[in-house]
Amino acid sequence: MASLESAPAVALKAAPARSRVPGGAALGLGLLVLALLPVLMGASNYMLGLLISALILSGVALAWALLGNLGGMVSFGHAAFFGVGAYASALLSAKLGLPVLLTVPLGGLVAVVASLAMLPALRLSGPYFALAILAYAQIFRILATEASWLTGGGAGFQRYPGLPNVFGLDLASRTGSYLLLVAVVTLCALAYLAVRRSHVGLALRAIAESEDATRVVGVNSTVLKSLMLLLSAFITGVFGALNAHIIGFLEPDYAFSGVWSLMPIIAAIFGGYRTIVGPIGGAVIIYLFDQVVAKSLIAVGHQIILGFVLVVMVLAAPNGLLGLVRKGDRHA
Amino acid sequence: MLELDAVTVRFGGLVALRDVTFTVQPGEILGLVGPNGAGKTTLFNGISGLTRVRGKILFGGRDVTRLPLHRRARLGIGRTFQIPQPMKHLTVRENLAVAQVFGAGRHDPARIEEILAVMELQQQGDRPAESALALQELKRLEIAKALATEPKLLLLDEVLAGLESQAKRQFAAKLKELHRRFGLTIVIVEHDIETISGLCSRAVVLNFGEIIADGTPAQVFRDPRVVESYTGTAHA
């Protein structure tokens, strides 16, 4: 009898769509229009800088939500993939002279390789998986610090190229970086949508609810969850790499900071981690709120306000902002 | 079709199944009977791969004792759960689609519609499995999911429980129809003697994890050990 391993085309084929699911084209177009608005409206470099950071966070939040929504895995260790992608891309471009537009996806691939070490943890569930991946992230921070001959260690690493000029558009400029990030976030969102709409996506959503119910009908849950971990690691690694080339400086305590694990969780839960638009929108809103509002209220330790916001959201709207909006629509 | 050889399951110091040995012939409808805690569901868990067993399980002549759950499902062992386990947030149709794609390795919407029609679930096809279905509908969905994997052997765990006698007879007739229509071999866990007698050609009785009787329903329900296991008193 055929199986996923022998007949991936069947499993990856799009499942019949539900009417309420927005089309991929609509999602992509909506994201593009919303994202291009700041450029068209002539936003300042400061505002574009904030949006660039917000989009980096959006990408990681999307990757985190993909793992949580499709497969039910809660990660506290995405900083590992982020940092590995960042260092890999920076080192490959600096030491081997590879073009940055090649090293960015390679950074994602190296993050995938790094995530392979996490596969045994997929046998764990719930808090045990979360704890295992948290410990794993710390290992990479220590490695990056100790391998100072390669990474510069705690002193940091900065002699590597920035984003290049492509077809006359300077990707290193604020506008160029912003547009590049919009495109990459949109591509990742569409990839997520394609997976979610396939039978693999259906099975993964079912695994998150009841793993035995899916295994008993022939779903190899370990393989599917592994694939999602690898995809999530790849996306996170790519955004780590992009961030590295945008800011032009890396040090282990920054690249592997717990912030890259925690902020995506807050953003995804705030926006609605079961949706695709939720984590992206949540990241933009949370980041701008933190930088513009919270920071002006409490200069040091402003993240405490984010914690408060998260608690309120979890209690008042467990399905996130998007869930709240949809609920409002139904009651309207 | 299915051969169990000295199948034993231990949970710590508790022996849930001890040296269970019997064979199920192709096309047979076999009733698995026994009081609560006899080991019936544990046996289903062992056959389907949810619980590790000692001993040997052969399916279609192939040793499946060490195969994981999903591999056994793809080989043709379908099962239902006593407490229905739908894929909650998916619709009824999506439940069947996942089962068909991963269990049978193909996507055939016409076949899914056929199964929905047979199981009288067409009206509920686009409803979320958990929130919109009543218990009996969920039980029918359990069977429909298993059928979507195109099983050769179907393990039914108390699918008739909770039904009144008239509804039970109708459902038993439905199971006979499934048996004939899909060319199935069925092992069914059921407490009701009348249902087992009307549905099954053979019954195996478990008590405290051991087989105490194996024969036609008429034979086993007259067996003093079976009567004792149910009533707690020795047969006069």
Higher-pLDDT residue of B194 and B182 is B182
Number of Cβ pairs closer than 8 Å across A and B? Answer: 107
Contact A199 B98 (CB under 8 A): yes
Q: Which residue, B168, B159, B195, is CA-closest to B83? A: B159
Q: What is the 3-state secondary structure (H, E, C) of chain A?
A: CCCCCCCHHHHHCECCCCCCCCCHHHHHHHHHHHHHHHHHCCCCHHHHHHHHHHHHHHHHHHHHHHHHHCCCCCCCCHHHHHHHHHHHHHHHHHHCCCCHHHHHHHHHHHHHHHHHCCHHHHHCCCHHHHHHHHHHHHHHHHHHHHCHHHHCHHHCECCCCCCCEECCEECCCHHHHHHHHHHHHHHHHHHHHHHHHEHHHHHHHHHHHCHHHHHCCCCCHHHHHHHHHHHHHHHHHHHHHHHHHHHCCECHHHHCCCHHHHHHHHHHHHHCCCCCHHHHHHHHHHHHHHHHHHHHHCCCCCHHHHHHHHHHHHHHCCCHHHHHHHHHHHHC
Interface of A with B in 196-225 (CB under 8 A): 199, 202-203, 205-206, 209-210, 212-221
| A9 touches B: beta carbon within 8 Å | no
CB B87 to CB A206 under 8 A? Answer: yes
How much is the mean pLDDT over chain A? 84
Collapsed DSSP state (helix, strand, coil) of residue B63: strand
Question: Chain A contacts of B102, Cβ < 8 Å?
Answer: 3-4, 11, 199, 203, 214, 217-220
Of B73, B105, B126, the CB nearest to A216: B73
Question: What stretches of A70-126 show up as alpha helix (H) in DSSP?
Answer: 78-95, 100-116
Q: Which has the higher per-residue pLDDT, A253 or A27?
A: A253
Fold of B2-76+151-231: Rossmann fold (3.40.50)
Which ipTM value was assigned to this complex?
0.84
Of A255, A279, A265, nearest to A311 by C-alpha is A265
> Starting from the edge strand earliest in sequence, which strands make up the sheet with B62-63, in order?
B14-24, B2-11, B54-59, B62-63
The single-letter code of the amino acid at B192 is D
Helices (H) and strands (E) in chain B, counts: 9, 10
* Helix or strand (DSSP H, E) at B153: strand B153-157
Residue of A216, A223, A274, A319 to mutate when probing chain B, most B C-beta within 10 A: A216
Note the pLDDT tens digit of each residue in A258-290: 888 888 998 998 888 888 888 998 899 889 988
- Among A243-252, B172-181, B222-231, the range with the most confident prediction by mean pLDDT is A243-252
At A28, which amino acid appears?
G
Which of A2, A15, A213 is closest, CB to CB, to B106? A2
Dmax (CA) of chain A: 63
Nearest to A217 among B88, B126, B145 (CB): B145
Which residue would you say has higher pLDDT here, B223 or B62? B62
- How does pLDDT run across A1-37, given as a tens digit for each residue? 444 444 445 666 666 555 444 555 666 677 777 677 7
Domain ranges of chain A: 22-257
pLDDT tens for B96-141 read 999 999 999 889 999 999 999 999 898 888 888 877 677 888 888 9
The answer to whether A105 and A238 have CB atoms below 8 angstroms apart is: yes
Q: Given CB atoms, is A226 within the 8 Å cutoff of chain B?
A: no
Contact between B69 and A215 using a beta-carbon 8 Å cutoff:
yes
- CA max distance for chain B: 57
Whether residues A212 and B98 touch (CB distance < 8 A) is answered with no
- Chain B residues whose C-beta is within 8 A of a chain A C-beta are 48, 50, 68-70, 73-76, 78-79, 81, 85-91, 93-95, 97-99, 101-107, 109, 126, 145-146, 148-150
Question: What pTM was computed for the model?
Answer: 0.84
- Give the residue with greater pLDDT, A328 vs A8: A328
Within 8 A of A14 by CB-CB distance, chain B residues are: none
Domain boundaries, chain B: 2-76+151-231
